[in-house]
Amino acid sequence: MKRWILVLLPLLLLGALIGRRLHEKTVAAAAQNQMRTARMKAAPVVAVAAAQVRDIVPTFEAVGGVEAPFNVKIASKATGRIDYLQVREGDRVTQGEVLARVDPSEIQAQVRQQQAAVSEAESRLAQAQLTEAPTNVNISTQISQQQAAVASARADYQQVKQNYAAQVAAAEAGVTDAQGRVNNAEAAITNAEASIKSARANLNNASAKYRRVNELFQQGFIAAQDVDDARTAVDVQQGALDVAGGQLNAAQALRSSAAAQKAAAQKQADIVRTKGKADIEAAQAKVVQAQAALKYAQANRAQMPAYKQNLHALRDAISAAEAGVRNAQAQLANTVLTSPVSGFVTGRFMDPGAIAIPGQPILAVQSVRQVWVTVPVPEEVSRSIYTGQPATVRLDALPGRTFSGKVTQVNAAADPMSRQFQVRVTLDNAQNLFKPGMFARVTMVTQRVRSATVVPREAVQSGPQGSSVIVVDKTTSVAQHRPVTTGASDANGIAISQGLQPGEQVVVLSAMPLKDGQAVRVGGGREKPQMNADRRG
């Protein structure tokens, strides 16, 4: 019996507690129902904000990293063993400070070798200059002599031509004179032949007269004296005929002599012509020979440019040797490595005793007097970014601080993968606050709209019909949906270009959806009411 009592007593207590809890929940549910009913019947509480007139300043924020404008890899131009290298990562260096040295002994030997080559080239030039002047004088003398020989040969040639003309003229005159004698002899022959004919005719006449006279004498008609006279006349005419015959013989002899003289004169003229032509050809050959000798002498003049070219080549050899000296000296200077910028050593890739190879880095030095913050910018924003544009930079390593910089570079080409443009903002780093590799956030103003009607972002609702706001009448506290045209926006609001006047109140927060004409209770500006808020915009 006692056992049952001990079991039932806890069960009764547990049941009483459960019943009490059920009663309390029923009472609380009834109270909540009453409150829900009251709220549903009461005007909803909303937060409002007045449309303001102010400037809209849209900004663009991007993230990037800090970079050094000058990140120099220092390498040796000469091959050799590094015999001096003291700086390490983090050491500050100044421009022109000696950072490393390479063993210069091999290059110093090259410098001395090139200097010896200069001396040898100068000696060769001096020897060539000593032989140049005598050679030039000898060539000039030969040319002058041959020019005189050409002039003399030409004068002889002209004299021979003139003598030939005179001798030919004289020979032709002798031929002409002989021809005249022949002509005279022929004329004398003609006259003699005519005299013979006349004498023979007279003789014939005298003989005929003698015969007639003699016949008459024989007949006794005339005296003997008439016969003698007739015979004498015959004898006279016979003598005249003999004289005419002698004249003819003399004229013929004279013609033969004149013909012989003409033949001799013609032969002499032929001899004169032949000899004169031979003399002219010989004189002309001498002219040609003299001209050839002159050309040969003038050809020797080509030695003068050759000597000059040789001198020029020797001078060039000196210049080349001097250039070799300068090159070797430059290589010698390259054994001393200095810092091209002031900054910090950020990398050391070799140690003393290592072999330096041209092009292989030994140290890395970065100049951080100014730094770059490089950020990507979308193509639609890149049109609003320009060189010299102010920018605000925040770094995660320096929380709570902002820094001012300027855009110094805007890449003209977008990255083919991301389609974004690289923009660099320069920050002054005189206090050495910024380190390459830091994470940075850059904010840049992309536009400025002045005197715009602005409402908070959460006041604007977007739907299929466009943008709208809920306007609360200050007098009646009635809500009304109104379509608006939006413009530019910034972090604090959106510009309304049409549909809203400055000073009008718009709902920024409401406990429930609102209908046109519904009465509302303003719950104190933009402070959120203590209820399930329906955030808009």
Q: In terms of domains, do 167 and 297 share one?
A: yes
Note the pLDDT of residue 531: 32
Q: In terms of domains, do 192 and 252 share one?
A: yes
Q: Distance between CA 303 and CA 323 in Å, rounded? A: 29
Which positions ≥6 away from 99 have C-beta within 8 Å? 74, 85, 86, 87, 93, 337, 338, 339, 345, 363, 365
To the nearest 10 degrees (0 to 180), the angle between helices 224-300 and 105-218 is 180
Is the distance from CB of 341 to CB of 124 less than 8 angstroms?
A: no
Per-residue pLDDT of the chain (537 residues; tens, 9 = 90+): 556 566 666 667 777 778 778 778 887 887 777 666 656 666 788 888 888 888 888 888 889 999 888 888 888 888 888 888 888 888 888 888 888 888 887 777 777 887 788 787 777 777 766 665 555 556 666 677 777 777 877 887 788 778 777 777 877 777 787 788 778 878 888 887 887 888 788 878 878 887 887 887 788 777 778 777 778 887 887 887 788 788 778 877 877 887 887 787 788 778 877 877 787 888 788 778 877 876 766 666 555 566 667 667 777 877 887 787 788 777 777 778 888 888 888 889 988 988 888 888 989 888 888 898 999 999 888 888 889 999 999 998 899 899 999 999 999 888 888 889 999 999 998 888 888 889 999 998 887 888 888 899 888 888 888 889 989 888 888 888 989 988 887 778 888 888 888 988 899 888 788 888 888 888 755 443 333 333 333
Q: In terms of domains, do 87 and 224 share one?
A: no
Note the pLDDT of residue 212: 81
Pairing state of beta strands 420-428 and 402-410?
Answer: antiparallel
Q: In terms of domains, do 435 and 475 share one?
A: no
Note the pLDDT of residue 298: 63
Q: What is the CA radius of gyration of the chain?
A: 72
Q: In terms of domains, do 81 and 204 share one?
A: no
- For residue 57, what are its two tokens? 């300043």
| The Cα angle at residue 181 between residues 177 and 185, in degrees rounded to 5 | 170
What's the CATH number where 472 sits? 2.40.420.20
473 within some domain: yes
- For residue 321, what are its two tokens? 């040797």
Q: In terms of domains, do 419 and 481 share one?
A: no
> Which residue, 445, 472, 493, sits at the end of a domain?
445
Q: Distance between CA 167 and CA 174 in Å, rounded? A: 11
Q: In terms of domains, do 164 and 273 share one?
A: yes
DSSP H or E stretch at residue 207: helix 105-218
Note the pLDDT of residue 423: 93
Q: What type of residue is 121? A: A
Q: Return the HEC string of 437-467.
A: CCEEEEEEECCCEEEEEEECHHHCEEECCEE
Q: In terms of domains, do 96 and 144 share one?
A: no
Q: In terms of domains, do 379 and 291 share one?
A: no
Q: In terms of domains, do 268 and 375 share one?
A: no
217 within some domain: yes
197 within some domain: yes
404 within some domain: yes
Q: Distance between CA 514 and CA 530 in Å, rounded? A: 18
Its domain, for residue 150, covers: 107-305
Which positions ≥6 away from 332 have C-beta within 8 Å? 104, 107, 108, 111
Residue 519: burial class (beta carbons within 10 Å; 0-12, 13-18, 19+): middle
Residue 115: burial class (beta carbons within 10 Å; 0-12, 13-18, 19+): middle
Nearest residue to 421 (alpha-carbon basis) of 411, 429, 432, 430: 411
> Which residue, 305, 327, 358, sits at the end of a domain?
305
What's the CATH number where 125 sits? 1.10.287.620
> Which residue, 251, 283, 305, sits at the end of a domain?
305
User: pLDDT tens digits, residue range 193-217?
Assistant: 887 888 788 878 878 887 887 887 7
Q: Distance between CA 116 and CA 328 in Å, rounded? A: 13
Q: In terms of domains, do 348 and 370 share one?
A: yes
Q: In terms of domains, do 133 and 201 share one?
A: yes
Report CA torsion sign: 120, 126, 129, 131. Answer: negative
Note the pLDDT of residue 132: 55
How many structural domains does the chain have?
A: 3
Nearest residue to 67 (alpha-carbon basis) of 370, 496, 418: 370
What's the CATH number where 403 sits? 2.40.30.170
> What φ, ψ does residue 71 adopt, rounded to 5°?
-120, 95
234 within some domain: yes
Nearest residue to 129 (alpha-carbon basis) of 314, 365, 398, 329: 314
